[in-house]
Amino acid sequence: MLRKNLWNFEVELHETVYAILNELNIAPEKATYVCEIMPKDDGYLYQFSYRIAGRILNEDTAKSMVVEWGEVRCCHEPYPYGAPGFPTPHFDLEFWVTLPWILNENQ
């Protein structure tokens, strides 16, 4: 696990998340959406997304991939929250992870 800033939060995520973002040249702190979804038995489920310019060529192959540290998927989310005015076409790279704590603002 690595320690990085995700918006204004200090958070540790699985190294694979950072490898994916690094491969796409996306700074981890540039998430366009961060949200606590719900409490779970082993922590709190969070979603964080990155808006990417371009389009998904085959929507049928844009499925979620569940892995030991959470879930990752590409999808088209037209809702502009977190990235108002973002140019089109675009899609979102979403991560769903369970953290053992509620994120506290680092301010």
Per the structure block, which two tokens stand in for 79? 């809702």
Q: What is the pLDDT of residue 6?
A: 54
Model confidence, pTM: 0.79
Q: Are 18 and 50 in contact (CB under 8 A)?
A: no
Query: Which regions in the chain score pLDDT beneath 50?
Result: 1-5, 105-107
The tally of CA atoms less than 13 A away on the side-chain side of residue 100 is: 4
| The token pair that represents 46 in the structure block | 């969070």
Q: Which pLDDT score, from 0 to 100, does residue 29 have? A: 84
Beta carbons within 10 angstroms of residue 14's beta carbon: 16
What does the domain layout of the chain look like in residue ranges? 31-99
What pLDDT does residue 71 have? 92
Angular region, 59: left φ>0, alpha ψ -120 to 50, beta rest: alpha
pLDDT at position 107 is 40
pLDDT at 103: 60
Helix (H, G, I), strand (E, B) or coil at 92: strand
**Structure tokens belonging to residue 65:** 């991939």
CA separation for the pair 91, 10 (Å, rounded): 26
